[in-house]
Amino acid sequence: MKSAIRTFPLVILALFCMGMAQKPPAISVRFFAEANKRDSSTFSSPIALNNSEHTMYIEKIPAITERSFRSIYPFHSTDGTWGCSFKLDEKGTMDLEVVTTSQRGRLMLAFILTKEANHQVCEMLIDQRISDGIITIPSGITDSEMQQLMKVYPVMGQARPTKKK
């Protein structure tokens, strides 16, 4: 009985902390590196590319995620969609440098996931080492996705958006 009385405050504290946990953003942006097709299904997944009939394998764990975004720089692309550059934090900068060094000559795919849908935005050839911590999606981001990104992340050179309570 005494142990139940001792653990009760800990359970209440844990439930309280879970309620205060930060909500995940309404939009996720993930960059996946190309995997070797001989890798097991534990580490890679097949995916059909948007712009060709070619099927490739991508790593199951993303190389870069929205958790590493420090700020964004949105711009209009020539095809009428949006493009965006993402400035990464220290961990993201290191992850980007590692993937662009070790995966040179392979593809990296960018995906955007929202509550409404998810889609492959673009595929990019890794042709050089990137050490400045900036990764760019050149096009393919919709207006609504860009609006959501600008609500969550500060635009380079502007103040961070205020969070609604």
pLDDT band at 23, cuts 50/70/90? Answer: low
- Predicted TM-score (pTM) of the model is 0.78
**Confidence (pLDDT) at 159:** 62
Confidence check: pLDDT of 71 > 90:
yes
Reported confidence tier of residue 140, pLDDT bands at 50, 70, 90: very high
Confidence (pLDDT) at 14: 52
Where do we find the tokens 């050179």? Answer: 157
Confidence of residue 164 (pLDDT cuts 50, 70, 90): low
Backbone angles phi, psi at 3, to 5 degrees: -70, -35
- Does residue 163 contact residue 135 with C-beta atoms inside 8 Å? no
Average pLDDT, the chain: 83
- The domains of the chain are located at 24-152
Give the C-alpha distances (Å, rounded to integers) separating 159 from 30, 56, 132, 153.
Answer: 24, 40, 21, 9
User: For residue 46, what pLDDT is reported?
Assistant: 83
pLDDT in tens, 26-47: 899 999 999 887 776 778 888 8
Q: Which tens digits make up the pLDDT trace of 76-106?
A: 999 999 999 999 999 999 999 999 999 999 9
Q: DSSP secondary-structure letter at 32?
A: E
| 24-152 topology per CATH | Gyrase A; domain 2 (3.30.1360)
Distance CA 81, CA 64 (A): 22
Kindly state the average pLDDT of the residues 132-142.
95
DSSP string, 102-148: HTTTSEEEEEEEESS-EEEEEEEE--S---SSEEEEEEEE-HHHHHH
Q: Which amino acid is at 70?
A: R
Q: What is the C-alpha separation between 88 and 99, in angstroms, rounded?
A: 14
Number of alpha carbons in the 13 Å side-chain half-sphere of residue 93: 10
Taking residues 109-126, report their average pLDDT.
Answer: 90
Q: What is the pLDDT of residues 52-67, one digit of tens each?
A: 777 888 888 999 999 9
What confidence category does residue 20 fall into, taking pLDDT thresholds of 50, 70 and 90? very low
Distance (Å, whole) CA 77 – CA 142: 11
Cα 144–chain centre separation: 17
Q: Determine the pLDDT at residue 48.
A: 80
Residue reference for tokens 């960059």? 31
